[in-house]
Amino acid sequence: MQFTFDAPTVIRMKRDGGTLPDAAIDWVIDAYTHGRVADEQMSALLMAIFLRGMTPAEIAQWTAAMVNSGERLDFTDLRRGGKPLALVDKHSTGGVGDKITIPLVPVVMACGGAVPQAAGRGLGHTGGTLDKLESIPGFTAEISKSQIRQQLCDLGAAIFAAGELAPADRKIYALRDITATTESLPLIASSVMSKKIAEGTRALVLDTKVGSGAFLKTEKESRELARTMVELGTSHGLTTSALLTDMSTPLGRAVGNLVEVTESMDVLAGGGPSDVVELTLALAAEMLDAAGIDGVDPAQTLRDGSAMDRFRALVAAQGGNLSQPLRLRTSVETITAPRNGTMGDIDAMAVGLAVWRLGAGRSVPGERVQSGAGLLIHRRPGEPVSAGQALFTLSTETPERFEAAIAELDGAWSVGDAAPPARPLIIDRITSGD
Ligand code: URA
C-alpha cells in the first residue's frame, strides 16, 4: 500500500525540528502546486522551515521537487552559425538598486553569449527585474517558448516570466513575500536554483549579496548560501560559480522601477555609476568564462555601443517602445543636507523599505506596482555635501505615501566630517568544492 501524507503531519514534523523524508517533500510540493495543500498550510510549513532550517539533503530534495513541479526547458538543439549556443545566465539573491541584469544581459549578448533568463518580480524590500522592465511602455515578459527559442538564436537573449517553470516556486515566492518568510537560506537557495535549473541554461553565475540590504545579513550566512546554490547547480549539470558582493549600501544612484531602467541605459551608453559598471563587468567576465567564451572584452561593448544596440533589439522583440523618453508623471519630495560635510554610509535596507513604501513593491499578492515609485541618491557615501543641497529625491504616484517612506529613512544616512571606511564591492568568488 502506498503511504500518503497530510499537511498537518508534515508541518508538525518540521515544527518539532525533524528532518522531512524525501517522500514528504515530494508530496507537499506536488500537493501545494495542484491546490491540495492550502495557502495557510504552506505558510505554516514555510515558517517552520524558516525557524528550524533544513539539512543539505532536504534542500536538494525540495529544490528537485520544485524543478519537477513544471517543465524543464532544453535549448541544447539550438545553433548559431552551425555551433551550439553558449547558454549562460546570472541570478542575484536580491538587493536594493540591483538593476545589474538590465545592462549585463546585453553586454553578454554582444560578446556572443546566449542568455535564457527566467526573471522574477520584487520580493520584500528588493526590486525585481520584471517589475523594472515592465515600466518600459509595451514591454512584456509573457512570451511563448517558441519566441524564447527564436530570440536566443537571432538576438542572444530572452527575459521571460517563469510561467510554467517551477510553478511551485511561483506560488511559494508570492506567499513568502507576504508572510515574512523570505530571509531563509533553504527557501532562497531552492527558489533561485529551481528556476535556474528549469530555465535551460548550461552555465550560471550567482550574485550572492552580503550586508544590510541582503536577505541574509552576515557574510558567513551569505557564503553558506552561495556554497549551497553552487553545489545544487553543479549536481544538476550546470557549470555554476558565485560572486559574494556588497549590499550594505544601495547599488548606483537609482532605486525603484523606471529610475533603474534609466540608470541602466546610462551604463549601456558608456556612463553610469562606477559601482554598477564594475559589477556588470565583473559578472560579465564570470559569465563569459563559464560559457567558454574568450578573447572578448565586455567593457568594449559599453564603449562601442554594441551592448546598447542589443538592449534596444531585445526590448523591441518583447514589445517595448524606447522611441520616447522614459518619463512618468509623479509627485516628488526632496531631502536636503543639514550641514556641510561628507556623506556617510546609506543603509540599503532602509532605502529598500522606503522605495517599497513609495509603491515600488507589493504588500498583498498580485498588487500593481508603480513604475514611477523610486528614489534618487544625489550624494553617495564619501562624496562632499554642502548644507541645503539635495541628498535624496523620492517619487511616487500617490503622495500620501511620502510620510511613511521618509520615516523609513530616518537614521539611515548621515553627513559627517570624514568619509566612511571603503568596502570592496566584490568580496569573494566561490566555486564547487570551496
Ligand atoms: N531570488 C529568488 O528567485 N528567490 C529568492 O528567494 C530570493 C531571490
DSSP-assigned beta bridge partners for residue 390:
336
pLDDT at 433 over 90: no
Task: Give, using CA atoms, the residue closest to atom 3 of ligand 1.
Answer: 192
Rounded mean pLDDT of 36-42?
A: 97
What's residue 218's pLDDT? 92
Helix spans in 164-205 (H): 167-178, 185-198
How far away, in angstroms, is 126 Cα from ligand 1 center?
10
What's residue 434's pLDDT? 80
How far away, in angstroms, is 391 Cα from ligand 1 center?
31
- Asked if 7-53 and 79-323 have one fold, the answer is no
Sheet holding 415-416, edge to edge: 384-385, 341-343, 415-416
* CATH 3.40.190.10 for domain 79-323: no
Task: Give, using CA atoms, the residue closest to atom 1 of ligand 1.
Answer: 93
pLDDT at 431 over 80: yes
193 and 109 Cβ atoms separated by less than 8 Å: no
Nearest-atom index, ligand 1, CA of 93: 8
- The residues, any chain, with a CB within 8 Å of residue 253's CB and separated by 6 or more, are 97, 263, 273, 376, 377, 378, 380
Indicate the fold that domain 7-53 takes in CATH.
Answer: 1.20.970
The residue ranges of every structural domain in the chain are 7-53, 79-323, 331-416
pLDDT in tens, 126-169: 888 999 999 999 999 999 999 999 999 999 999 999 878 999 99
How far away, in angstroms, is 192 Cα from ligand 1 center?
5
pLDDT in tens, 227-286: 999 999 999 999 999 999 999 999 999 999 999 999 999 999 999 999 999 999 999 999
pLDDT in tens, 48-89: 999 999 999 999 999 999 999 999 999 999 999 899 999 999
Residues annotated catalytic, as ranges: 91, 169, 176, 191, 195
Please tell me the pTM assigned to this model: 0.94
Nearest-atom index, ligand 1, CA of 195: 3
At 265, the amino acid letter reads M
Confidence of residue 2 (pLDDT cuts 50, 70, 90): low
Domain spanning 331-416: which superfamily?
Pyrimidine nucleoside phosphorylase-like, C-terminal domain (3.90.1170.30)
Nearest-atom index, ligand 1, CA of 191: 4
Which residues approach ligand 1 with their CB closer than 6 A?
93-94, 120, 123, 187-188, 191-192, 195
pLDDT in tens, 188-223: 999 999 999 999 999 999 999 999 999 898 999 999
How far away, in angstroms, is 262 Cα from ligand 1 center?
24
* Cell triple for 383: 562624496
Task: Give, using CA atoms, the residue closest to atom 8 of ligand 1.
Answer: 93
Task: Give, using CA atoms, the residue closest to atom 5 of ligand 1.
Answer: 188
Burial label for 112, CB within 10 Å (0-12, 13-18, 19+), is middle
pLDDT in tens, 168-191: 999 998 899 889 999 999 999 999
